[in-house]
């Protein structure tokens, strides 16, 4: 549980009794979201400071959610017990992907376990990337990449590196990746994404135009979660270009100046959100299950490479150390996972 800004604690909770249509699944590995979860750790998450009205779908003044918060949504677990009515549906030993918080075990409906069951032989650590691959795929769809386009990806964390690969699969002739950390830039380069360092005094948009021509890139995918990153994504694209955001923006930030290139170059800004009650823009041809299944297949088959993205593994009992590392030394990390070896 995140019990307050900067505080991560292991707490004990008792699960309910196993129902006849339930399965009991013990966690094998879970991935930490460096965007969503770290915003809660920092105390910057929008839902902490404003109240979300789900009927009108707007944030309102007033108290939002409070701590404690159970973080996590990228869990791979192994079925170790099955309710009596579900024994013909699920097998002991099946691995399943769960949109559940970090924890040693979970009780889930058998139908949910069936829908998320992994094919035999799939590495659980690879399956950790299924959900973020879906997020990145949604961003690529919303960016509307065309064959031969030049694409800029700003922010080369896990989602940005996945989006860069997916942009190439979608037909981009060149994908340029912007980040300030050498580890992420080197990883992008190894995955076919041309790196641009944001940590120098060189103008990012000028560097991008040296690579793709003076008019700029056709479109950008913003995955940094910073207003400065969003501003640079806008600056990197051509007149009438498109910027799709896959990151969430938290806290009080500066650096976004909409009176400049955004206005002067008539940029289209699109928010990509694959959950929270938002249907896909290509619905009904594309819905969340199809998007998830496609992302999953791309990861399983290796068309999207994820094996080099895990930089750190921490035992679940040392989760606080994992969050501290991401907060204090982000330049050393891409994907940090928690393991649950007995």
Q: What is the pLDDT of residues 45-78, one digit of tens each?
A: 988 889 999 999 999 998 888 999 999 999 999 9
pLDDT in tens, 292-338: 999 999 999 999 999 999 999 999 999 999 999 999 999 999 999 99
- Other Cβ atoms less than 10 A from the Cβ of 285: the count is 7
Dist. CA 62–CA 75, nearest whole Å: 33
Q: Is pLDDT of 342 > 70? A: no
**How does strand 75-82 pair with strand 22-31?**
antiparallel
Model pTM score: 0.96
**How does strand 95-98 pair with strand 105-109?**
unpaired
Dist. CA 153–CA 140, nearest whole Å: 10
pLDDT in tens, 221-233: 999 999 999 999 9
Q: Which residues pair with 226 in a beta bridge?
A: none
Dist. CA 296–CA 119, nearest whole Å: 11
**Contact assessment for residue 322 and residue 10, using Cβ atoms and an 8 Å cutoff:** no
What is the overall mean pLDDT for the chain?
A: 95
pLDDT (0 to 100) of residue 89: 87
pLDDT in tens, 25-48: 999 999 999 999 999 999 999 888
The answer to whether the Cα torsion of 39, 306, 159, 130 is positive or negative is: negative
Dist. CA 236–CA 311, nearest whole Å: 29
**Contact assessment for residue 177 and residue 160, using Cβ atoms and an 8 Å cutoff:** yes
pLDDT (0 to 100) of residue 67: 94
Longest dimension (CA), the chain: 66
| Two tokens, residue 306 | 């994820």
**Contact assessment for residue 228 and residue 222, using Cβ atoms and an 8 Å cutoff:** no
């Amino acid at each position: 549980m995140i019990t307050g800004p900067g505080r991560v604690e292991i707490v004990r909770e008792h699960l309910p009794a196993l129902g006849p249509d339930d399965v009991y699944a013990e966690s094998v590995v879970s991935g930490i979201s460096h965007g969503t979860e770290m915003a809660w750790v920092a105390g910057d998450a929008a839902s902490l400071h404003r109240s979300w009205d789900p009927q009108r779908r707007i944030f309102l003044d007033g108290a939002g959610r409070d701590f404690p918060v159970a973080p996590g949504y990228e869990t791979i677990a192994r079925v170790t017990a099955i309710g009596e009515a579900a024994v013909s549906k699920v097998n002991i030993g099946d691995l399943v992907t769960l949109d559940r918080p970090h924890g040693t075990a979970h009780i889930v409906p058998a139908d949910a376990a069936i829908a998320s069951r992994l094919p035999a032989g799939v590495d659980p650590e690879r399956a950790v990337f299924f959900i973020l691959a879906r997020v990145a795929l949604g961003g690529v769809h919303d960016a509307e990449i065309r064959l031969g386009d030049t694409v800029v990806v700003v922010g080369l964390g896990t989602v940005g590196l996945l989006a860069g690969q997916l942009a190439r699969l979608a037909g981009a002739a060149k994908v340029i990746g912007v980040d300030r950390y050498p580890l992420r830039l080197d990883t992008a380069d190894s995955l076919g994404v041309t790196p641009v360092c944001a940590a120098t005094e060189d103008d990012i948009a000028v560097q991008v135009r040296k690579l793709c021509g003076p008019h700029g890139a056709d479109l950008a995918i913003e995955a940094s979660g910073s207003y400065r990153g969003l501003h640079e994504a806008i600056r990197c694209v051509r007149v009438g270009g498109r910027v799709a955001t896959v990151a969430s923006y938290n806290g009080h930030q500066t650096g976004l100046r909409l009176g400049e290139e955004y206005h002067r170059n008539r940029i289209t800004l699109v928010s990509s959100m694959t959950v929270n009650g938002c249907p896909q823009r290509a619905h009904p041809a594309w819905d969340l299950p199809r998007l998830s299944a496609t992302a999953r297949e791309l990861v399983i088959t290796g068309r999207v490479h994820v094996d080099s993205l895990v930089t750190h593994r921490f035992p679940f009992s040392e989760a606080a150390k994992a969050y501290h590392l991401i907060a204090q030394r982000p330049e050393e990390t891409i994907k940090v996972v928690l393991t649950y070896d007995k």
